Amino acid sequence: MANTIRVFDFDINIHGANVVVCREPLCSRCLSDGEVDAQIRLLKDDLDSVAIKMKRAIRKQAGEPLVLG
């Protein structure tokens, strides 16, 4: 998932982790169903990547093992 469009990121502090939007608009203008599907797929992949990073950061902050499960 390293090849994401990097629209989303996260911020973490003692109160927890938040997903943040780094770029607006979230996707380019779409003119077809295929373009819509491709843009949404990229956004989903980006969120999945952020989720993995957030889980690692939360576990690290809590002093837990970094194994995702």
pTM: 0.77
Q: Would you say residue 23 lies in a domain?
A: yes
Contact 14, 62 (CB under 8 A): no
Count of the separate structural domains present in the chain = 1
Token readout for 3 is: 């090849």
H/E stretch holding 21 reads strand 16-21
Q: Would you say residue 3 lies in a domain?
A: no
Q: Would you say residue 21 lies in a domain?
A: yes
Q: According to the model, what pLDDT value does residue 3 have? A: 58
Q: Would you say residue 67 lies in a domain?
A: no
pLDDT tens digits for 45-61?
A: 999 999 999 999 999 98
Q: Would you say residue 2 lies in a domain?
A: no
pLDDT tens digits for 7-53?
A: 999 999 989 999 999 988 888 899 999 999 999 999 999 999 999 99
Q: Give the domain range for residue 52.
A: 8-62
Tell me the Cα Rg of the chain: 14
Compute the distance between CA of residue 42 and CA of residue 57 in angstroms, rounded to an integer: 23
Contact 9, 3 (CB under 8 A): no
